[in-house]
């Protein structure tokens, strides 16, 4: 049972880490907290479900098409819907509130469309559901493959951020947008790009999760909340922190489900979150507020 919980925690945590990384990149650079983040994830899960059921193509291959679409939709959302708010914002604070309202509305719009098309039924499909034995424990092949995909994409994003000029520009904007303008970085371009990268990562997370979890049109907010908890727990904008906290969240979930009660996972996650915030208000890896 212990090894089973470890494997479940690791595979789930890996995908949580990836999803949280997307949100922290979005918010850290564009300063737009995307409350519709989970809707992008669920929309991608439905897209994978529909395309897999009709075409029979592997969801992992479908991701190659779904992820770029989500990238473009997110870019559109930022350039067309968020940019007018950026232009008229009088202060950083008013921009954050305006963009919260925008993405809050987007959440309901996207959820409404999905409810209209798919209803509120639980949806799942079976792909690579055969068990794989690892060290006395069994884990399904789709979980393992999803974990591997999350690792690879997480590593690629890390390299993009740390080793490329584009990544340096994104990090510069996250640290100091005015400073970034002063070295010739187009801050609005960087914010749009980060928002699009985050949307693409959410979609990948959605496709990966859809292979082994049951989902509904109303579940987006659950993933937004979990990603938000990971991001805040790690310290906003802290990418490695989000990866580690995401893994921890996966472990907490699987161990509580295995040893206590599956119904208690959310409660325990919030308890952990509360304790972290009490001890370190700016997150585990965040700078201590002065």
Give contact residues for another protein (rule: CB under 8 A).
Answer: 165, 168-169, 171-172, 175-176, 178-187, 287
Say how far apart CA 275 and CA 2 lie, in whole Å.
Answer: 25
**64 or 182, CB closer to another protein?**
182
Across-strand partners of 211? none
DSSP state of 290: -
Cite the beta strand spans of the chain per DSSP E. Answer: 131-134, 137-140
Q: Please state the closest distance from residue 73 (CB atom) to another protein, in A.
A: 26
**117 or 183, CB closer to another protein?**
183
Q: Residue 158's Cα: distance from chain center in Å?
A: 15
**57 or 183, CB closer to another protein?**
183
Q: Please state the closest distance from residue 80 (CB atom) to another protein, in A.
A: 19
Which pair of tokens denotes residue 97? 């509130």
**186 or 218, CB closer to another protein?**
186
Q: Please state the closest distance from residue 177 (CB atom) to another protein, in A.
A: 9
Across-strand partners of 133? 138
Q: Please state the closest distance from residue 187 (CB atom) to another protein, in A.
A: 7
Closest CA to 34 of 87, 84, 105, 89: 105
**73 or 160, CB closer to another protein?**
160
Which pair of tokens denotes residue 47? 């897209």
Q: Please state the closest distance from residue 45 (CB atom) to another protein, in A.
A: 35
């Amino acid at each position: 049972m212990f090894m089973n919980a470890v494997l479940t925690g690791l595979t789930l945590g890996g995908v949580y880490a990836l999803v949280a990384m997307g949100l922290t990149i979005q918010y850290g650079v564009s300063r737009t907290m995307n409350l519709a983040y989970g809707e992008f994830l669920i929309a991608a899960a439905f897209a994978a479900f529909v395309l897999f059921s009709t075409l029979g193509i592997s969801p992992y291959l479908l991701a190659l098409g779904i992820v770029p679409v989500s990238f473009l939709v997110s870019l559109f959302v930022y350039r067309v819907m968020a940019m007018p708010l950026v232009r008229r914002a009088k202060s950083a604070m008013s921009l954050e509130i305006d963009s919260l309202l925008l993405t809050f509305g987007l959440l309901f719009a996207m959820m409404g469309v999905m409810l209209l098309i798919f209803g509120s039924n639980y949806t799942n499909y079976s792909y690579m559901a055969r068990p794989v034995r690892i060290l006395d424990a069994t884990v399904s092949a789709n979980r393992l493959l999803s974990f591997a995909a999350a690792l690879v994409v997480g590593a690629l994003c890390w390299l993009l951020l740390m080793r490329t000029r584009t990544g340096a520009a994104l990090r510069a904007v996250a640290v100091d947008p005015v400073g970034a303008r002063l070295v010739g970085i187009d801050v609005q371009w960087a914010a749009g790009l980060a928002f699009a990268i985050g949307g693409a990562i959410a979609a990948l997370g959605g496709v990966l999760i859809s292979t082994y979890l049951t989902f509904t049109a109303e579940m987006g907010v659950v993933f937004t909340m979990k990603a938000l908890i990971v991001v805040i727990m790690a310290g906003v904008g802290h990418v490695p922190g989000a990866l580690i906290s995401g893994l921890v969240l996966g472990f907490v979930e699987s161990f509580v489900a295995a040893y206590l009660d599956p119904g208690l996972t959310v409660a325990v996650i919030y308890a952990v979150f509360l304790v972290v915030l009490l001890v370190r208000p700016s997150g585990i890896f965040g700078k201590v507020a002065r």
